[in-house]
Amino acid sequence: MDILALLAQGFAVALSPLNIGLLLLGCFFGTLVGSLPGIGPINGVAILLPLAYSIGLPAESAIILLAGVYYGAEYGGRISSILLNVPGDASAVMTTLDGHPMAKRGEASRALALSAMASFIGGTSALVLMTIFAPLLGRVAVGFGPQDYVALMVFAFACLATLVGSRPLKTLIGVLIGLMLAMVGIDGGTGVMRFTFGIPNLFDGVEFLVVVIGLFAVSEALLMLETWSGKRIADVPIAKGAVKLGEILRYRLLMLRAAVIGFFIGVLPGTGASIASAVAYGVEKRLAQGEDDRFGKGDPRGLVAPETANNAAAAGAMVPMLTLGIPGSGTTAILLGALLLFNVTPGPLMFEQRPELAWGLIASMYLGNVALLILNLPLVGVFARLLSVPRAYLVPLMVALTFIGVFSLYGATFDLGMMIVLGFFGYLLRKMGFTLAPVILGLVLGALLETNLRRALSISDGDWSILVSTPTGVVFWIGAALVAVSPFVLKALAHRRKIASLPVKDDE
């Protein structure tokens, strides 16, 4: 009952006129950037963050706005996946598999409505799980010592390296680049300047927003220039049509399974919506024995499962960010960075010290899911029409917004230059097969990791064995080791199986 009282308090915060307005704005903008191919949630949040910061919103309002963009984009990602077979971001890839065949069969409106319902149910069930588990996890985490945090962060990086991106080595390099960027500036412990090259703009460290916008938005603009083909995207006609309640009820167990899978995968550090949707899709395909050949040809189950899971994962990924201060994905890393900008340190204490913020955010996510469902069912035609907005209009607008955002922080041309250099760097890395989310995760966690390591070693007076002195810490170290070797084990197993049962149809 305690939780319900706190949640009620949260609704009181979320229902204030300003916050409701920002929530609707965030959801709308999120669906918009999610549906525009290539922009995706990370860019949406990154572009809005400096604006939200500069106009002086209170912390809880700003985070409600940004979170709205974040999960709104998960709703929007399905539109271009279904209609154009172009996923807005990685987590929407699985949606294309059955969503687009349905659209080609002339069932676009049914697919869109069904996936909107799936998104709503996935998001809302994950929120219920979050309401139950987040305070519990927070209570456990209060007992974590600095050595446990070190182990937890290493575990997070291990998960990230093995599960995200094309190659673990490149993900690890990305994390290291982020961690090293985090070292720039005055060292909190001793007041020594590190890696500033004597540039005053760097004394306070590398500006988080500049890095995020440079790496993501600027490199995205260059990538859009490269991949532009000059062909106009054809309008996809959407016939009127709705989903019957019976059809949704038929998938209730499937949605429930996918939501639980999505939530818990989302909670794991380093794994996010893209893995959750792939796993949920795989599970449903396996469960549909005898009919699994229909998957990939427009089976509604293959659309509902990943859509439910990726929205559930988006909510799940908020849990470690809020309760431990350790984000599980690139976008939640940016949200964490946003909270830090507002002098709010997420972690176990936030639920006690800033309940209006923690519970206000959770309550606003319930409202946001309802708003998104209402917004998406009738307005889907509007969003679909936006898909054919030419890049000639889109990219210049995006560039102007990034410049406005970065310049309005300090009015410094230096920041603009730094943003562009980082943008070129990000473009190079992306071309060479790197994913950029690990860089942001490293940047956000760098100071925290170093501080905790130094704190742990000052407790033990320089004895490194303190890192494995607690059961919690040992569990995380073992977890990290298991995750790190798992790809090699799996590869060996797959290799053996392939030899045992040739010929095998490679369906993944």
Rule CB under 8 A: is residue 407 a binding residue for other proteins?
A: yes
Rule CB under 8 A: is residue 408 a binding residue for other proteins?
A: yes
Smallest separation (angstroms) from other proteins to the CB of 419: 8
Distance between CA 273 and CA 255 in Å, rounded?
15
CB 327 within 8 A of CB 336: yes
Q: ∠ CA 5-15-53 to the nearest 5 degrees? A: 110
The nearer residue to other proteins, 290 or 411, going by C-beta atoms, is 411
Rule CB under 8 A: is residue 420 a binding residue for other proteins?
A: yes
Q: Could you tell me the two tokens for 305?
A: 């499962």
Site for other proteins in 337-396 (CB under 8 A): 390-393, 395-396
Q: What is the 3-state secondary structure (H, E, C) of 375-415?
A: HHHHHHHHHHHHCCCCHHHHHHHHHHHHHHHHHHHHCCHHH
The nearer residue to other proteins, 292 or 450, going by C-beta atoms, is 450
Q: Could you tell me the two tokens for 155?
A: 């575990």
* Residue 69: CB atoms within 10 Å: 31
Smallest separation (angstroms) from other proteins to the CB of 169: 6
Q: Could you tell me the two tokens for 286?
A: 């396996």
Smallest separation (angstroms) from other proteins to the CB of 275: 22
The nearer residue to other proteins, 11 or 407, going by C-beta atoms, is 407
The nearer residue to other proteins, 287 or 420, going by C-beta atoms, is 420
- Contact residues for 216 (Cβ-Cβ < 8 A; gap 6+): 42, 43, 46, 426, 436
Binding test (CB under 8 A) with other proteins, winner from 7, 15, 25, 176: 176
The nearer residue to other proteins, 195 or 203, going by C-beta atoms, is 195
Smallest separation (angstroms) from other proteins to the CB of 51: 7
Binding test (CB under 8 A) with other proteins, winner from 15, 86, 340, 453: 453
H runs (alpha helix) in 36-107? 40-54, 59-84, 93-104
Q: ∠ CA 20-24-28 to the nearest 5 degrees? A: 170
The nearer residue to other proteins, 353 or 458, going by C-beta atoms, is 458
Size of interface with other proteins, in residues (CB under 8 A): 64
Distance between CA 273 and CA 89 in Å, rounded?
10
Rule CB under 8 A: is residue 431 a binding residue for other proteins?
A: yes
CB 82 within 8 A of CB 102: yes
The nearer residue to other proteins, 401 or 474, going by C-beta atoms, is 401
* Choices 30-38, 62-70, 127-135, 421-429; region in contact with other proteins by CB under 8 A: 421-429
Site for other proteins in 46-75 (CB under 8 A): 51, 54-56
CB 495 within 8 A of CB 174: no
* Residue 239: CB atoms within 10 Å: 9
Binding test (CB under 8 A) with other proteins, winner from 15, 20, 248, 454: 454
Distance between CA 211 and CA 223 in Å, rounded?
17
Binding test (CB under 8 A) with other proteins, winner from 169, 249, 493, 504: 169
Q: Could you tell me the two tokens for 247?
A: 């059809």
* Choices 10-18, 95-103, 222-230, 496-504; region in contact with other proteins by CB under 8 A: 222-230
Residues that bind other proteins (CB under 8 A): 51, 54-56, 166-167, 169-170, 172-173, 176-177, 179-180, 183, 187, 189-190, 192, 194-195, 218, 221-222, 225-228, 230, 390-393, 395-397, 399-401, 403-404, 407-408, 411, 413, 416-417, 419-420, 423-424, 427, 431-433, 449-450, 453-455, 457-458, 461-462
